[in-house]
Amino acid sequence: MKIHKPLWAFQPLFLLLPLVSCGGAAKEGVSVTLTGDDPVLSFAKEEILSSAKAVGLEERGGDYQISFGGIDTQLGEQVYTLSVEGKNITIKGGDTRGLLYGGLEVADYLKENHGLSGIKDKKVSPYIQERMLKLNAPLDMRTPSYTDTGENAQAQIKDMWDLSFWKEYFDAAARNRFNAVNLWSLNPFPSLVKVPGYEDVALADVWKTKIPFDATYSGNCANAVREEHWTEGSYEIVKTLSIDEKIAHFNSVIDLAHNRGIRFYISVWNLYPFGEHGKHGIDAKLDNPVTKDYFTRSTEALLSTYPKLDGMGICTGENLPMADIDLGDLSAAEYKEQWLHDVYAEPIKASLKANPREFKVIHRMHFTDYSVVASIWGDLPCTMDISAKYSSDHMFVNGVHHFADEVLEALPSGQKTLLELRNNDFFNLRFGDYDFVHNYLANMSLEKVSGIVMGSDGYVDGREYFYADEAFNGTLSLEKHFAFYQLFGHMAYDKDFSKERFKGLFFYRFSSVSKENVDALFSAMQVASKVIPTISSLYFVDGDANWYAEACSSHPNTFGYLGIKRWVDSKSSHPYANCLSISEYCKAIKEGSEIDKSKDNPVTISTVLLNLAKEAKEKLALISLSPATKAEKEFLSLAGDQKCFALLGEFYGHKVKSVIALREYNDLGKEEAKVAALAEMNLSVDAYASYAAAFHANYKKMWLTWTGENDMNAYLDKAKEDIDAIASWKKRNY
C-alpha cells in the first residue's frame, strides 16, 4: 500500500520558515517608488508588491528599494534596463512599455527566486516587436465571429460585455508580455456603432441562440445566422444594454487595454450583413450601392466612436460573391480590393487627416495577392502591415515552416508583415514544451516581420466553460493554458528566456505542492507535449477543418474520424517536417528501394511516439498527491492532460504500426503481417479507450466550429471500426 506523506512534508523550505536575518530580525522589506499615476506603471508596481508579499517580503522601506527611473528614449521602444547597487534596484525604459516590462521582470524574479537576493543588472530588447493575441469575439448571436457556430463561443457571449473579463484578460496578457489584442469579427458594426442614416440597424441588448449547432453550418460562415435564429423563443437575452451603453463599454475596454500597455485592434471580415437583417436593402452583394454606403459609413462611425482605437484589420474574406457583377476594366481580384479600399481606406484617410495619430491597418493575405494590394492601397497615410499564416492553420508540427515565404518574398524593403500563428491542433489539452517553442521562434526569419498574432480559429480563447469539474468553469483561457502563453509571450519578447526561468514560474504556480511532485509534472509536460507535433509531422492535412489531432478527426462534412482507410495510403506528411509519408515509405518497401535515412518515416515516428508515451507515463507515475485545495486540483487536472497526451502517443504509435503492417499484408502478401496489423490496432483502440476516459474526466463534450462534437467516446466507436476493416481487408493496388 502506498503511504501518502502529509502535504507539509513536501513544502518548499521557503514556505515553511520565516524570512529572518542572522540576528533574528523581522521579514525583509521592499519599497517601490513611482513618480506620477500612470496606470501602466501602477500595474507594474502592484505586480512587484504582490509577488513580494507572496514570497514573504513586507512592503516597507529600509531594505530593497525599487524605483522607476524614468524614460530614456535612446534605449528604444519596449527596452528596459535594471541597475542594481546593493539593495537599490533602478528600472529605466525606452518608453512606458519598457518600464512596464522592467517592473514585470522584477515581479517574475521574486516568483522564481523567492526573493531579490542575487538580482543583477540586465538589459532586454524585444525579440519580436508586436506580440498580438487574436480573439474571435462572440459579441452577439446576430454579429458572430468566425467561431460562433460552436458551443464554446456561445458560452462566452456574456463575457464580451463584462469589464471584469477584460481586466483579467489584459492583466494576464501583459504579464506574459503580449502588447496587442486583435478582436476578430465577421461584422461587428451593428453591435458597436450607431451609423448616421442607418440608426435603426444598431442592436440593443445581447442575444445568444438556443438552437443547437450541427454539421449543416457552412465552413465559410455564410449561413452562421439563419432566419430561425431571429424567431422569438429561439434566442435568449443574456444582457440588457442600449447601443449607447455598448459604446461606453467598449471605449472602457480600449482604456483597460491601454492601461496595460496593450494596443487594441478590431478586424472585420467580408461580407456578412447578418446583424443588419435586410434593413435598407443591405445584403452581401458587392455591387449593391446601399451595402457599400452602409459599410463605408459604418467604418466612419467606428473611427469616430472609438477615437483611441489603435488600428483596423481587413480581409478579402470568404463571402464576397462575384457572380453577375460587371467588373468593367478590373479583374475580380482588383474589383474586390478596390471595394475594400473604398469602404475602409477612405474613411481611415479622412479620420487621420482630421485627427492625426498613430494608427495601423492590418491587411490579411487571404484570397488576394500583394501586387494587387500594393497597387490600390498605396495612398494610406499610416502603417499597413501585411498578415500571413506562418504555419498555415496548424502551428504544432516539428520543422521550420515556410507557408508565408511567397508573401514575404513579394514584399518590398520596408514593408512589414504580421505572422499568424494558428493553433487548430488541440483546444482542451494543456501544452508546455519549452524546446518546441524555443525552436519554433528561433527558426523564424524576422527580416520583414513586425510581429506575430496568436490564436485559434476554431475556438474562443476567453474563458473556459467545459470543464467536468464545475469549480474550474469560468477560468480565463490565458490562465488555464498558462504554460503555452508564458512560453510564447516571454520568449517572443526576450529570446533569452530560459527553461530554468520557465521552470521557476511553474514551481511558483504550484508552490502548495511538493517539489518532487512538481518536478515530476514539469518533466512529464516537456515530454508529453511533443506528441502532437510528432504525429503531425507524419500525418497532416492542411485546413482549419481537416486535421484535429486532439481527436484524430476532422469536420463531419470533410472526413469525420480519420480511420485506417484514410491513413493506409496517406501522402499527407507535413511539407516542412522532413518526413517520408506513409505512401512514400510503403512504396519504397514494396519496390525494395533504399529508405532515405536523412528523413523520418512512419517507423521512426511510431517509435518516437511510443517512447514519448512511455517516458511521460513513467514521470507521471511519480506523482503522489491527495488534493485539498483548488491549486492542487488544478495541478492534478494538468497532470491529467499530460496523461491524455501520453495516451494519444500510444494511440498514434500503434495506429501507425498497424498501418505499416497492413500495407505489408496488402502489398507483399505477408499473412503474418495482417495478424500484426490487427494486434497493433487493438492496442491502438485500447489506448484511445483510455484516452477517452481520461479526457472526459477533465472535460465535457462540446460542439466545435471546425471539427464537430469533440465527444471522444463517439470517436472511440469509430476507432473500433478499424479493427473490423482490417479483419475484412481486401487487397488492392496503391
Q: Residue 108 in contact with residue 505, Cβ under 8 Å?
A: yes
Is the domain of 630 the same as that of 663?
A: yes
| Best mean pLDDT range from 55-64, 213-222, 289-298 | 289-298
For 127-154, write each residue's pLDDT tens digit: 999 999 999 999 999 999 988 999 999 9
- For residues 202 and 68, membership in a common domain is answered with no
pLDDT of 12 > 50? The answer is: no
**Distance (Å, whole) CA 121 – CA 80:** 11
| Residue 649 domain flag | yes
Which residues 6+ apart lie within 8 Å of 519 measured at CB? none
- pLDDT at position 318: 87
Give the closest residue to 366 by CA, choosing from 313, 317, 407. Answer: 317
| Confidence bin at 17 (pLDDT 50/70/90) | very low
In this predicted structure, what is the pLDDT of residue 725?
Answer: 98
pLDDT band at 1 (very low <50, low <70, confident <90, very high): very low
Q: φ and ψ at 235, to 5 degrees?
A: -140, 165
Shared-domain flag, residues 113 and 48? yes
Residues 358 and 311 reside in one and the same domain: yes
Residues 225 and 187: their CA atoms lie apart, in Å, by 12
Q: Do 529 and 643 fall within a single domain?
A: yes
Among 334, 359, 389, which residue terminates a domain?
389
Radius of gyration of the CA atoms of the chain, in A: 27
Provide the sign of the torsion angle of the four alpha carbons 246, 248, 254, 260, taken in this order: negative
Cite the DSSP H helix spans in 34-150: 39-54, 96-113
Q: Phi and psi (nearest 5°) for 145?
A: -95, -175
Domain boundary among 124, 159, 186: 124
Q: Enter the C-alpha cell of residue 447.
A: 527580416
- Residue-level pLDDT at 527: 98
Q: Would residue 699 count as lying in a domain?
A: yes
- Eight-state DSSP code of residue 556: T
Q: What stretch of H or E contains 238?
A: strand 235-239
**Is residue 304 helix, strand or coil?**
helix
Residue 26 has a pLDDT of 64
Reported as a pLDDT band with limits 50, 70 and 90, residue 362 is very high
Q: What is the mean pLDDT of residues 448-472?
A: 96
**Maximum C-alpha span of the chain:** 88
- Rounded Cα gap, residues 68 and 205, in angstroms: 44
User: How far apart (Å, rounded) are the C-alpha atoms in residues 228 and 647?
Assistant: 42
Q: Which of 613, 609, 632, 631 is nearest to 621 (CA)?
A: 613
Q: In angstroms, what CA-CA distances link 396 with 159, 177, 371?
A: 28, 21, 30
What whole-number distance in Å separates Cα of residue 339 and Cα of residue 113?
56
Distance of alpha carbon 263 from alpha carbon 594, whole angstroms: 55
In sequence order, the β-bridge partners of residue 67 are 33, 90
In a domain, 482, yes or no: no
Does residue 429 lie in a domain region?
no
pLDDT band at 5 (very low <50, low <70, confident <90, very high): very low
Please tell me whether residues 164 and 115 are part of one structural domain. no
Contacts of 257 (CB under 8 A, 6+ apart): 166, 170, 181, 263, 264
- Mapping DSSP to helix (H, G, I), strand (E, B) and coil, where does residue 708 land? strand
At residue 73, does pLDDT exceed 90?
A: yes
Cα 73 to its chain centre, rounded Å, is 32
Torsion of CA 406, 410, 412, 415, to 10 degrees: -60
Residues 201 and 283 in one domain: yes
Residue 636, Cβ neighbours under 10 Å: how many? 16
The separation between the first and the last C-alpha atoms of the chain, rounded to the nearest angstrom, is 54
Please identify which residue in the block is written with the cell numbers 512606458: 96
Task: Please state the rounded mean pLDDT for residues 515-532.
Answer: 98
pLDDT tier, 677 (very low <50, low <70, confident <90, very high otherwise): very high
Express the helix, strand and coil content of the chain in percent, nearest 5 each: 45, 15, 40
- Cell numbers linked to 98: 519598457
Residue 205 has pLDDT above 70, yes or no: yes
pLDDT of residue 220: 85
Asked if 203 and 157 touch (Cβ cutoff 8 Å), the reply is: no
pLDDT > 70: percent of the chain: 96
The CATH code of the domain that includes 268 is 3.20.20
Residue type, 57: L
Tell me: do 208 and 62 sit in the same domain.
no
What's the rounded Cα separation, in Å, for the pair 457 and 88? Answer: 46
Q: Is the pLDDT of residue 25 over 90?
A: no
Compute the Cα dihedral for 3, 432, 398, 584 and give only its sign.
positive
Mean pLDDT in residue range 611-626 = 97
Distances (CA, A) of 448 to 385, 417, 452, 575: 10, 6, 12, 23
All three cell numbers of 557, joined, read: 462534412
The confidence band for 367, taking pLDDT boundaries of 50, 70 and 90, is: confident
Q: Is residue 427 part of a domain?
A: no
- Region 399-416: what's the mean pLDDT? 94
| 24 pLDDT higher than 90 | no
Cell of 726: 482490417
Q: What is the pLDDT of residues 309-319, one digit of tens each?
A: 999 999 998 89
Mean pLDDT score, 477-484: 98
pLDDT the model gives residue 6: 35
How many Å apart are CA 136 and CA 144, to the nearest integer?
Answer: 9
Q: How far apart are CA 214 and CA 422, in angstroms?
A: 24
Whether residue 726 contacts residue 678, with contact meaning beta carbons closer than 8 Å, is answered with yes
> What is the C-alpha to C-alpha distance for residues 587 and 617, in angstroms, rounded to an integer?
34
> pLDDT for 222-261, tens place per residue?
999 999 999 999 999 999 999 999 999 999 999 999 999 9
Domain co-membership, 118 together with 140: no
What percentage of the chain reaches a pLDDT higher than 90? 92
Look up the CATH number of the domain holding residue 25: 3.30.379.10
- DSSP code, position 569: T
Q: Tell whether the model's pLDDT for residue 8 goes beyond 90.
A: no
Average pLDDT over residues 568-584: 96
Q: Tell me how far apart the alpha carbons of residues 286 and 293 are, in angstroms, rounded to a whole number.
A: 11
Q: How far apart are CA 416 and CA 433, in angstroms?
A: 29
Answer yes or no: is 723 within a domain: yes
Euclidean distance between CA atoms 340 and 346, whole angstroms: 9
Provide the number of structural domains found in the chain: 3
Alpha-carbon gap, residue 85 to 116, rounded angstroms: 12
- Say if residue 163 is in the same domain as residue 288: yes
Note down the domain range covering 620. Answer: 522-727
Asked if residues 687 and 526 have their Cβ atoms less than 8 Å apart, the reply is: no
Residue 467 pairs in a beta bridge with 699
Q: Are residues 363 and 233 in the same domain?
A: yes
98 lies in the same domain as 175: no
**What residues pair up with 397 in beta bridges, in sequence order?**
none
Distance CA 634, CA 619 (A): 18
Query: Dihedrals φ, ψ of 720, to 5°?
Result: -65, -25
In a domain, 474, yes or no: no
In 3D space, the residue among 521, 542, 610, 523 whose CA is nearest the CA of residue 397 turns out to be 542
**Long-range CB contacts (within 8 A, 24+) of 121-126:** 121/81, 121/82, 121/83, 121/84, 122/81, 122/82, 123/79, 123/80, 123/81, 123/82, 124/79, 124/80, 124/493, 124/494, 124/496, 125/76, 125/78, 125/79, 126/77, 126/78, 126/79, 126/492, 126/493, 126/494
Q: Where does residue 195 rank: exposed (0-12), middle (13-18), buried (19+ CB within 10 A)?
A: buried
pLDDT band at 218 (very low <50, low <70, confident <90, very high): confident
Last residue of a domain, one of 87, 108, 124: 124
Residue with cell 509577488: 51
Is residue 532 domain-resident? yes
pLDDT score at 62:
82
8 Å CB contact between 168 and 253: no
Cα(676)–Cα(666) distance, integer angstroms: 13
Q: For residues 721 and 681, is the Cβ–Cβ distance under 8 A?
A: no
CA–CA dist 490, 122 (Å, integer): 15
Comparing C-alpha atoms, which of 479, 426, 555, 459 is closest to residue 137?
459
